[in-house]
Structure 1
Amino acid sequence: MRSLVAGLAAAAVLLLVAGCTPSPKVPKGDGTIEPLIFMAIPSQRPGPLEESFQPVLRMLEHETGRKIRFREAHDYAEVIEGVRTGKVQIAELGPFSYVLAKQQGARITAVVARVTQKGDIPEYQSYGITRVNSSINRLADFRGKKICFVDENSASGYLYPKAALQDVGISVERDIVPDFTHGHDLSAIAVSNGQCDAGFAYNTIVDRRLLVQEQLKPDELKVVWKSEMIPGGPMVIANDLPATLREQLVAALQQKANADYLRANGFCEGACVIADGYSYGFGSLDDAAYDKVREVCRKVGEKSCEKA
């Protein structure tokens, strides 16, 4: 009997201990334990792109207490799909890819876009470029030539150039040979090495980045066309994130995602080049800024623009 009592007592103690042991944490349906996924359109090759965003991502981790994982995108469509399906919670989209993502039902909010200098308006231009010794001197001369574009979902690398070519009577489908490089840097380099007769890339790539990186020489390319100003590609956050987390992300991006703050707080050193490698940081904007992109989208008659 004493043995039986002792056995029951021991079993009771074990049950008591088991009942007091914390159960392992299980990820919740709202993803509060899983890392946040960040993705950016591939405006340049993946390695430098990921590196240039690290100061901002480290700051966001510090502000939110959440791990943020950079995920490489192979083209613009992959980023659009990521935010549309909710698999990507923070992303930098291009102006056109943002319009398309919203059209396709992505539940996202535009928060900020890149600025080169403190106080700048977040906007930029598309350049039409060719080699400096080329006989091409205007968009009308692009007819019959092999032309480098960036991506069919790019504003400065396709949408605005297509509209400009239409204005001079050139059809992208019939009057030129298009070549999509899937990177603004790759488009400019393809023109410089003769892969294309002419092409398009955004202004900072041509004016600064590739020159500083010594991938282009100062006298190698000439600009034969400049677009109107285009609203900068927005950094967006998913609407389905918890409200407090969304507020933290918005405040951090609007107030602290700049070289001054990042340098002063140890997230980067020296020149503190961020985002595309030569930006000061980000400036605030909202969805209404992209109405002009929607207008150009409808103008070119793209099927993807019909409901934009």
Structure 2
Amino acid sequence: MKRLILGLITLLVFSPVFAENTPAEEAPPAITIGVIPGGNPENVREQGLTLAKELQTRLNIPVNIYISKNYSGLIEAMKTKKVDFAFFSSATYVLAEEQAKAKVLLKKSWHEPYYYSMVITPLRSGIKNLKQLKGKRMAFVDDKSSSGYLYPWAEFKKLGFSEKDFKEMVFTGNHQASIQFLEAKKVDAAAVFSDDDKGEQGAWKKFGTDKKAKYRIIWQSPPIPNDPFAVRQDFYDLYPKTTHSLMFALIDLVQENRGKDTYTEILGSRDLMPATSKQYDPVREMVKALGLKP
């Protein structure tokens, strides 16, 4: 499996003035927000630094962006209090809620309130369904990725597949890398996200470099709740006002930058909207069906 280098983007600041915090709530010494480089890792790093600087200005609190090397690492970072907030995938959040006491606050939106997992193959491959992938090379993103592994793997299990039924299973680390593997003919199929149910907003459209390449969607998941933004419960208990101020700042940033690529890798492109734990019940059912543990 490809591994991305663990990164922590920090920003040097001068002595902050906590003007907006009342005496009833002391400001935290700093805020750390965790993210997963699920798309373009370099863009995540660049946008993370810009986001930290902007949030720091608005909140008058030092802000760090912690880039986890994988999905499980982000759960562990919240559990060990290395991060206070995190942008999880839907399945990672369900596990983090149980293991790291994550409390959901918001969810991203790119095209719709939901997104989809899709398994795609090059049109020229002649592969038209999942059963034809036996003996083939398959690209997944991460074993905790909702669209890049868990949802399609649940479907493969229904069909009686096991890991040995593939000639090769590759975990690429992010959706962009999965598309690169497909373009380079290193795999025969890939499980990636699509922000709409037609595939017009699919990962292969966003990250593909071969504009002439044509793909066939051979499987599509039910709608998946969009990626949530969560806080560590004990942080929220100590700093509810700071938490809400950060939420409003993030919502404002998305609205102010709509149509631009300033923060899209981290915040989505359309909206950040309030979310509840119950909205992720379908994900919990999938996690339970697969027998996943934190």
What's the TM-score once normalised by structure 1's chain length? Answer: 0.76
Aligned residue in 2 for 1:244: 241
2:227 equivalent to 1:230: no
2:161 maps to amino acid: I
Q: What displacement does 1:179 show?
A: 1.0
Q: How far apart are the structure 2 equivalents of 1:273 and 1:142? A: 38
In the other structure, the counterpart of 1:274 is 263
Q: 1:240 to 1:31 in 2, by over 3 A?
A: farther
Per-residue deviation at 1:213?
Answer: 5.6
What is the letter of the counterpart of residue 250 of structure 1?
Answer: M
Is the 8 Å Cα contact of residues 130 and 218 (structure 2) preserved in structure 1? yes
Give, as a single letter, the amino acid of the residue that structure 1 aligns with 2:83. V
Mapping of residues 1-308 of structure 1, within 5 Å: 32=27, 34-53=29-48, 56-104=51-99, 106-117=100-111, 120-121=112-113, 123-171=114-162, 173-176=163-166, 177-204=168-195, 207-208=200-201, 211=205, 215-241=209-235, 242-253=239-250, 255-258=251-254, 260-262=255-257, 271-276=260-265, 279-302=269-292, 304=293
CA positional deviation for 1:53: 4.5
1:58 CA displacement: 4.2
Provide the C-alpha distance between the structure 2 equivalents of 1:212 and 1:81, rounded to a whole number of angstroms. 30
Q: In 2, Cα distance between the equivalents of 1:142 and 1:103?
A: 34
**1:60 deviation in Å?**
2.9
Aligned length: 264
Q: In the aligned structure 2, how far is the partner of 1:273 from the partner of 1:161? A: 31
Aligned residues: CA RMSD: 2.8
Contact conserved, 1:129 with 1:191, CA < 8 A, in 2?
no
| Distance verdict in 2 for CA 1:271–1:116, change over 3 Å | same
Gaps of 5+ in 2: 1-14, 17-24
The 2-side partners of 1:124 and 1:145 are apart by 26
Q: State the one-letter code of the partner of 1:274.
A: Y
AA paired with 1:108? A
Q: Report the identity percentage.
A: 25
Asked whether the equivalents of residues 34 and 66 of structure 2 are also in contact (C-alpha less than 8 Å), the reply is: yes
Give, in angstroms, the shift of residue 55 of structure 1. Answer: 5.6
Look up the match of 1:8: none
What secondary structure, in the 3-state scheme, does the structure 2 residue paired with 1:44 have?
coil
Query: Distance in 2 between the 1:156 and 1:175 partners?
Result: 20
Q: Secondary structure, in 3 states, of the residue corresponding to 2:265? A: coil
Q: Do the aligned partners of 1:231 and 1:289 also contact (CA within 8 Å) in 2? A: yes
